[in-house]
């Protein structure tokens, strides 16, 4: 391990009751971009993702598939690893809650909570939703079309009565409120923090944390017949991955507490209320941030298996190429808001920003250099103030991206990058190197150098979102040093570097056929 500063970011671990879809790809993509950005920016990064394999929901799905739960988990978990490969995710670990190291960690945490007096035995009688793997108070329920009781998420609920161990969540209301007050950026976006605060202010009930009516879970230590509630099991994965219960482990010391837990808005309560309460109870440091992103709909409709409109990330990559998919998901919608996926918007956005933007800028510049400057980076003359302005803008873009990504504002970070592309386009139009070719070939070389140098920096800055295409572009320009320390003067293109005939990095995408059109 190096002495570089640490950055630890996590995704939720995904239930293996179902194969991966666009929502899962989205959450992990967001963390992938942060992780890649931080690595290039000189951090030692731990990027964790994985699968959540216990609980009634998974047990029932295995039963339905007619396979033993472990074999079922092995099969579906592998699909999530396939997704990580297909999406080019750079996760450092892929954790599974059925791993021994994890069972050991959760059982240790349980013993800690018990020893500190925060766990007691009682009987649970109340509403439970298997789909949400969550308990609900009567007052939270709503009525369905036939008058049946439903969870606030619309999921069916059942009445459950069983012996259970409880966690004294009710003891943490004030402590949590004080913590939110002292750490106003703990939950982002801000509107979500308000939601969390009002939930806690509404009064916290003790939380049932063991189950006795099924088997698929981590056994409660020393109490036969009880398995742990899937959420206490699942949340602890963030600790397991850095070596807990060994708090002297190098990874634990370096990376805990996590910098960001990235989650969807549906699972914010578990991360922003239960999880910090468990950690407070165990005297462990709390994560620095929980970011709750929004949900995707598909062409205006809620994505659901029963509607048959689930977006398959593997199919999207197959149709449009990987990097446009990565770019679109984080560029299109202000991160934190809900977003609607439409193929038409996908194609329009990618053509505007990628094919006509970065793609066209690099293609025409590198072609001109290849044709007019002996197939190599030209030596520039003195820079004018316009030249310096554009070169300076790249440095400012890095600073802007840093600032935006520290707040997980991906859309703003990419907007800053696109503005740099637009500035380079504007510079070329004004400088008109095609005219200079006849009137002032030396100045043409300087202009092409300045644009190429800007493209080098755009490509370095765009690596976190589009790693494959930017690698290809940087290869074409003979750039080998690709970290952010190369932004600005440090990494200037060397005159004389070979520039082969460029190959396009972003082909134009075809609009989908109009509905009803022949």
In angstroms, the CA 75 to CA 172 distance is 39
Q: What is the DSSP letter of 351?
A: I
Residue with smallest beta-carbon separation from ligand MSP: 264
Is the Cβ of residue 21 or residue 39 nearer to ligand MSP in the bound state?
21
Helix (H, G, I), strand (E, B) or coil at 185: coil
Helix residue ranges, H only, 2-122: 22-40, 56-65, 69-86, 100-115
Structure tokens at 381: 């003359």
- Strands of 87-216 (E only): list them: 93-96, 119-129, 134-136, 142-143, 149-150, 158-167, 187-188, 207-208, 210-211
Q: Does 313 bind ligand MSP (CB under 6 A)?
A: no
In the complex, minimum distance from the CB of residue 231 to ligand MSP, in angstroms, rounded to a whole number: 7
Q: For 85-114, b where at least 16 C-beta lie within 10 A, e where not — what string?
A: ebbbbbbbebbbbbeeebbebbbbbbbbbb
CB of 89 to ligand MSP, least distance (A): 14
**Judged by CB under 6 A, does residue 359 bind ligand MSP?**
no
Closest CA to 276 of 292, 254, 293, 261: 261
> Binding segment for ligand MSP among 11-19, 121-129, 469-477, 482-490 (CB under 6 A)?
11-19
CB atoms within 10 A of CB 492: 15
End-to-end CA distance of the chain: 60
**From the CB of 8, what's the least distance to ligand MSP, in Å?**
15
Q: Which one of 23-31, 35-43, 105-113, 283-291 is the stretch in contact with ligand MSP (CB under 6 A)? A: 23-31
- By DSSP bridging, strand 44-52 and strand 6-15 are parallel
What span, in angstroms and rounded, lies between the C-alpha atoms of 401 and 411? 10
CB of 268 to ligand MSP, least distance (A): 9
314 is a site residue for ligand MSP (CB under 6 A) = no
Window contacting ligand MSP (CB under 6 A); options: 242-250, 260-268, 435-443, 482-490: 260-268
Does position 13 bind ligand MSP by CB under 6 A? yes
DSSP notation for 214-264: ---SPBPTT-TT-EE-HHHHHHTHHHHTTTTT-TTSHHHHHHPSPSEEEEE
Task: Decide: 343 and 462 in contact? Cβ < 8 Å.
Answer: no
- Closest distance of CB 491 from ligand MSP, Å: 37
Give the binding range for ligand MSP (CB under 6 A) out of 34-42, 246-254, 262-270, 358-366.
Answer: 262-270
* Shortest Å distance, C-beta 95 to ligand MSP: 10
Residues 6+ apart with CB under 8 A from 230: 52, 54, 55, 56, 57, 133, 217
Of the pair 237, 446, the CB lying nearest ligand MSP is at 237
Q: Which stretch binds ligand MSP (CB under 6 A): 12-20, 100-108, 239-247, 432-440?
A: 12-20
Site string for ligand MSP, 27-56 (x = CB under 6 A): x------------------------x----
The answer to whether the beta carbons of residues 417 and 401 sit under 8 Å apart is yes
For the CB of residue 102, give the shortest distance to ligand MSP in the complex, in Å.
11
Indicate whether 234 belongs to the interface with ligand MSP (CB under 6 A).
Answer: yes
User: What are the residues whose beta carbons fall under 8 Å from the beta carbon of 444, sequence distance 6 or more?
Assistant: 372, 433, 436, 437
Size of site (CB under 6 A) for ligand MSP: 18
Closest CB 472 distance from ligand MSP, rounded Å: 29
267 binds ligand MSP (CB under 6 A): yes
C-alpha 157/C-alpha 56 separation (Å) is 13
Burial of 503 (0-12, 13-18, 19+ CB in 10 A): exposed
Separation between Cα atoms, residue 339 and residue 355, nearest integer Å? 23
Residue 156 forms beta bridges with which residues?
A: 150
From 18-26, 182-190, 390-398, 457-465, span contacting ligand MSP (CB under 6 A) = 18-26
Q: Site for ligand MSP (CB under 6 A): which residue of 83, 113, 119, 235? A: 235
Specify the DSSP element, H or E, that contains 450: helix 441-462
Footprint (CB under 6 A) of ligand MSP, residues 269-308: 295-296, 303
Q: How far is the CB of 301 from ligand MSP (least distance, A)?
A: 11
Q: Which stretch binds ligand MSP (CB under 6 A): 6-14, 37-45, 410-418, 419-427?
A: 6-14
Stretch that binds ligand MSP, among 9-17, 58-66, 202-210, 363-371 (CB under 6 A): 9-17
Q: Is 14 in the site for ligand MSP (CB under 6 A)?
A: yes
Q: Smallest distance from the beta carbon of 64 to ligand MSP, in angstroms?
A: 17
Choose one: 24-32, 168-176, 191-199, 447-455; the region binding ligand MSP (CB under 6 A).
24-32
Give the distance from CA 420 to its chain's centroid. 24
Q: Which of 7, 8, 15, 410 binds ligand MSP (CB under 6 A)?
A: 15
Of the residues 26, 335, 410, 506, which one makes contact with ligand MSP according to CB under 6 A: 26
Phi/psi class of residue 284: alpha, beta or left (left: φ > 0; alpha: ψ in -120 to 50)?
A: beta
- What is the nearest approach in angstroms of ligand MSP to the Cβ of residue 267? 5
Q: Catalog residues that contact ligand MSP under the rule CB under 6 A.
A: 12-15, 23-24, 26-27, 52, 234-235, 263-264, 266-267, 295-296, 303
């Amino acid at each position: 391990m190096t002495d570089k500063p640490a950055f630890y970011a996590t995704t939720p671990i995904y239930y293996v009751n179902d194969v991966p879809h666009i929502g899962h790809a989205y959450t992990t993509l967001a963390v992938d971009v942060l992780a890649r950005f931080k690595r290039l920016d000189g951090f030692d990064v731990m990027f964790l993702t994985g699968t959540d394999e216990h609980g009634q929901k998974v047990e029932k799905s295995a039963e339905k598939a007619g396979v033993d739960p472990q074999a079922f988990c092995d099969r579906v978990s592998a699909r999530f690893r396939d997704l990580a490969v297909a999406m080019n995710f750079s996760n450092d670990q892929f954790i599974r809650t059925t791993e021994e190291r994890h069972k050991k960690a959760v059982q240790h945490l349980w013993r800690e909570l018990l020893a500190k007096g925060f766990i007691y035995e009682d009987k649970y009688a109340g509403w439970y939703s298997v789909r949400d793997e969550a308990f609900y108070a009567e007052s939270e329920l709503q009525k369905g079309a036939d008058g049946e009781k439903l969870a606030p998420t619309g999921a069916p609920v059942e009445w459950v009565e069983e012996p259970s161990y409880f966690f004294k969540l009710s003891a943490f209301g004030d402590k949590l409120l004080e913590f939110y007050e002292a750490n106003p950026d703990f939950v982002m976006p801000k509107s979500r923090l308000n939601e969390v605060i009002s939930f806690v202010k509404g009064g916290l009930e003790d939380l049932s944390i063991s189950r006795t009516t099924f088997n698929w879970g981590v056994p409660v230590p020393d109490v036969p017949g009880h398995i742990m509630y899937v959420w206490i099991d699942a949340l602890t994965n963030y600790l397991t991955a850095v070596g807990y219960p060994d708090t002297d482990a190098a990874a634990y010391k370096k990376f805990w507490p996590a910098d960001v837990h990235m989650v969807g808005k549906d699972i914010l309560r578990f991360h922003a209320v239960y999880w910090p309460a468990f950690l407070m109870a165990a005297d462990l440091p709390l994560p620095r941030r929980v970011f709750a992103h929004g949900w995707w709909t598909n062409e205006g409709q809620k994505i659901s298996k029963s509607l048959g409109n689930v977006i398959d990330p593997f199919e999207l990559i197959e149709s449009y190429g990987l990097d446009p998919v990565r770019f679109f998901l984080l560029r299109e919608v202000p991160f934190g808001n809900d977003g609607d996926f439409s193929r038409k918007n996908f194609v329009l956005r990618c053509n505007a920003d990628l094919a006509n933007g970065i793609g066209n800028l690099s293609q025409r510049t590198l072609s001109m250099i290849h044709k007019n400057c002996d197939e190599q980076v030209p030596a520039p003359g003195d820079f004018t103030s316009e030249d310096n302005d554009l070169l300076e803008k790249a440095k400012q873009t890095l600073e802007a991206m840093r600032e935006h990504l520290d707040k997980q504002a991906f859309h703003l970070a990419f907007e800053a990058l696109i503005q740099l592309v637009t500035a380079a386009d504007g510079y070329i139009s004004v400088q008109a190197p095609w005219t200079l070719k006849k009137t002032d070939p030396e100045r043409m070389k300087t202009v092409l150098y300045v644009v190429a140098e800007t493209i080098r920096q755009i490509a370095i800055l765009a690596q976190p979102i589009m790693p494959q295409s930017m690698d290809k572009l940087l290869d074409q320009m003979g750039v080998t040093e690709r970290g952010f320390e190369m932004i600005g003067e440090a990494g200037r293109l060397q005159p004389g570097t070979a520039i082969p005939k460029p190959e396009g990095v972003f082909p134009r995408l075809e609009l989908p056929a109009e509905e009803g059109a022949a």
